[in-house]
Amino acid sequence: MPKSVEIEVQPDVINWILNRIANEEINQNILEQLKSWRDLTAKPRYAEIEKISKKIHIPFGTFFLQKPPKEDKSTIEFRTLNNRNNTNYSLNLEDTYKKMRSIQDWMTDFKKDESEESVEFIGSLTIDTDYSQAAQKVRETLELNEDWNTKFSSPERLFSKIQALLQNNGILFMKNKFVGVDTHHGRKLDVNEFRAFALTNTIAPLIFINQNDSITGQIFSSIHELIHLFLGEDSLFSDSSLNTNSHDLTETFCNKVAAELLVPKNLITEKWGLENEALTDKINRLAKYFNTSRQVIIYRASDLDLINKTEKNHLLAQLKGYDFNLDKTTDENKNVFIPYSAKLKARMDKNFLKALKKSVSNGDTSYTEAMHLTKTNVQNFFNLMEQVSD
């Protein structure tokens, strides 16, 4: 079709598109152009549709539909989670959620076909459980000592341990900075919007981590979302979830259990008075010892009455001007070339990749579906599979 040809578009479809991007930062000229198509005051050309679809991340074919697309199962599930949090979320988050849900659905079917056992601890806690007892149950389930996270030389090494630990206990552990695997078109995940989310089921529970967060933030998010899986519920973790004065009993419970796992009452009380030092120095020392953030130490000390409210607010105010990007360790910060396929592998769960490789090799999953799940082309998919051990 010549790109200069004018196209008949349906106003209801364009209106659906406008509603879909209502919470996005879209150039005003593009919005006005879409409205003119909706109001039938102008007709789009093929090339214009092609250009705008890329800019607003709406599939090209959507513009040619006769009726607005029906919401699929994953969209409805996302809206349910969205409404529960009473916030309108971005397309970047929604697209990431739907991609992770499709991976979880595929892995669930694979594990059922392989007659693999369910993950027994999913749904084994309730928010009525004492938080210290809940933390102890998690430790026993994962075979952890009370001081487990203090044995690592850096938060990066602790995070790697958490990733391996959760994967070895049947949890799909995914992470990324971007929507899909495309790092060239700027669809960066916003850490101010969400830090992590959890998708529960008893066969293939999943945790997704936003890697634009600091490394200590990623550690806390991982443990927080793990507690949601122990409760047997989906979760979307954002800054509002960190509010210790939150009226959401579930979020409060998950925060308390995660804090006890990372900064146990017995240990912080023991370590608190060991040094004659300024309060700020004490917070820094303990954050380093526990491989966690200073915010977690401050909130934990406040909860345990080791500091008063005035001291807590003063310490938190001191952190407001801190550049948390300094806490990050990212591929981009290292002067080391990392192959694209290696980056893909690092973002995806190792058990999912092994299962996918086996399924494709057996002819149970097509290459087309496999490339769709991994968001790769032919070359990148084969390069990725070469790095996956059988």
- Write down the H helix ranges in 174-278: 215-231, 249-262, 265-272
Give the pLDDT confidence of 259-272 residue by residue, as tens digits.
999 999 999 999 99
Give the pLDDT confidence of 119-157 residue by residue, as tens digits.
999 999 999 999 999 999 999 999 999 999 999 999 999
Q: pLDDT over 90 for what percent of the chain? A: 65
Q: Do residues 222 and 159 touch, judged by C-beta distance below 8 A?
A: yes
User: Which of 153, 152, 159 minimizes the C-alpha distance to 175?
Assistant: 159
pLDDT at residue 357 in the model: 96
More confidently predicted of 259 and 86: 259
pLDDT at residue 57 in the model: 82
pLDDT at residue 238 in the model: 80
Tokens 């789009």 correspond to what residue?
44
Give the pLDDT confidence of 155-165 residue by residue, as tens digits.
999 999 999 99
* Mean pLDDT of the chain, nearest integer: 88
| Mean pLDDT of the region 308-329 | 74
Give Rg (Cα) of the chain. Answer: 23
Q: pLDDT over 70 for what percent of the chain? A: 86
Tokens 């936003």 correspond to what residue?
210
To which H or E segment does residue 196 belong? strand 196-199
Question: Would you give the distance in Å from CA 175 to the centre of its chain?
Answer: 6
User: Which of 263, 241, 258, 221 minimizes the C-alpha distance to 138?
Assistant: 258
More confidently predicted of 15 and 171: 171
| Mean pLDDT of the region 158-187 | 88
Q: What pTM did the predictor assign? A: 0.85
Residue 329 — very low, low, confident or very high, per pLDDT cuts 50/70/90?
Answer: very low
pLDDT at residue 183 in the model: 57
| Mean pLDDT of the region 345-364 | 96
| Mean pLDDT of the region 3-26 | 84
CB neighbour list of residue 61: distance below 8 Å, 6 or more residues apart: none
Give the pLDDT confidence of 236-257 residue by residue, as tens digits.
888 765 555 555 899 999 999 9
